[in-house]
Amino acid sequence: MTESGPLRCLTIDVEEYFHIEAAHGRVGRDSWDTWPSRVERNVDLLLDLLDRHGRRGTFFLLGHVAERRPAMVGRIADAGHEIACHGSGHDRLHRLDADSFRADVTACKHRLEDLTGRPVQGYRAPTFSVVPQTAWAIDVLADTGFTYDASIFPVRHPAYGVPEAPLEPFLVRRGPDGPTLLEVPPLVWRVGPLSLAVAGGGWFRLLPLIFMRRGLVQAARHGRPAILYFHPWEFDPGMPRLPLSRVGRFRTYHGLARSAGRLERIVARPARWLPVADALDELRRAAASRPVFDLAAAG
In one-letter notation, the amino acid at residue 225 is P
- Write down the least CB distance from residue 101 to Zn ion, Å: 15
- Write down the least CB distance from residue 86 to Zn ion, Å: 6
Q: Where does this chain touch Zn ion (CB under 5 A) — which range of 47-55, 122-130, 135-143, 181-189?
A: 122-130
Q: Where does this chain touch Zn ion (CB under 5 A) — which range of 6-14, 130-138, 210-218, 251-259?
A: 6-14
In one-letter notation, the amino acid at residue 277 is A
Q: Interface with Zn ion includes 126 (CB under 5 A)?
A: yes
Pick the closer one to Zn ion by CB: 124 or 173.
124
- Write down the least CB distance from residue 115 to Zn ion, Å: 19
Residues comprising the chain, all counted: 299
Give the number of other Cβ atoms within 10 Å of residue 99's Cβ.
10
Pick the closer one to Zn ion by CB: 57 or 126.
126
Q: Where does this chain touch Zn ion (CB under 5 A) — which range of 12-20, 107-115, 204-212, 233-241?
A: 12-20
Q: Which of 155, 199, 156, 150 is nearest to 170 (CA)?
A: 150
Q: Kindly determine how many residues on this chain lie close enough to bind Zn ion according to the rule CB under 5 A.
A: 3
Question: Chain-centre distance of CA 98, in angstroms?
Answer: 21
Q: Where does this chain touch Zn ion (CB under 5 A) — which range of 9-17, 111-119, 131-139, 219-227?
A: 9-17
3-state secondary structure of 11: strand
Q: Interface with Zn ion includes 13 (CB under 5 A)?
A: yes
In one-letter notation, the amino acid at residue 266 is I
Pick the closer one to Zn ion by CB: 104 or 168.
104
Indicate the pairing of strand 7-14 with strand 226-230: parallel
Q: Where does this chain touch Zn ion (CB under 5 A) — which range of 7-15, 51-59, 131-139, 214-222?
A: 7-15
Q: Could you tell me how many helices (H) and strands (E) the chain has, helices first?
A: 10, 12
Q: Interface with Zn ion includes 104 (CB under 5 A)?
A: no
- Write down the least CB distance from residue 222 to Zn ion, Å: 28
Pick the closer one to Zn ion by CB: 128 or 293.
128
Contacts by 188-196, CB closer than 8 A, 24 or more apart = 188/153, 188/154, 188/155, 188/215, 189/214, 189/215, 189/218, 190/218, 195/154, 195/155, 195/156, 195/163, 195/167, 196/155
| CB of 18 closer than 8 Å to CB of 288 | no
Pick the closer one to Zn ion by CB: 206 or 268.
206
- Write down the least CB distance from residue 230 to Zn ion, Å: 11
Binding site for Zn ion (CB under 5 A): 13, 15, 126
